Amino acid sequence: MVSPHSNTPQATRSRLRAIVSAVEREISRLPGQTGADGGSSPPSALAAAFAGLVQELALGPEPELRECPVCKHMGMRAATVCGYCWTKLSPLPERKSVAA
């Protein structure tokens, strides 16, 4: 199996997504300005700067992965061939979307 600390582009993007989530969580905890609705929000300049950074990173959603049954490397869920050992992969059933 691929180490979670590998330097593949996917692993790097995954670590960036985790860092972005952690920073967003911490920004939301900062004492802020009282909004028109009486609620508190983080300082607008910091929140705006961070939102701009996240937009420039363009990380997108976490890709769906699956493990090759032969070599155990991780690859894209929709792959039809393993990118490491070239084993033909059987299609996985469609995931049902969760309605909110």
pLDDT per residue as tens digits for the range 52-67:
998 888 888 888 889 9
Q: What is the dihedral of CA 70, 74, 80, 83, to 10 degrees?
A: -80
Please state the φ and ψ torsions of residue 19, each to the nearest 5 degrees: -65, -45
pLDDT for position 68: 95
Cα 21 to chain center, whole Å?
9
DSSP for residue 45: H
pLDDT per residue as tens digits for the range 64-97:
889 999 999 989 888 999 999 999 999 888 766 5
pLDDT for position 4: 46
With cut-offs at 50, 70 and 90, classify the pLDDT of residue 28.
confident
- Domain 64-100 fold is SH3 type barrels. (2.30.30)
Q: What is the pTM of this model?
A: 0.52
Place of tokens 């996240």: 54
Listed by start position, the domains of the chain span: 9-61, 64-100
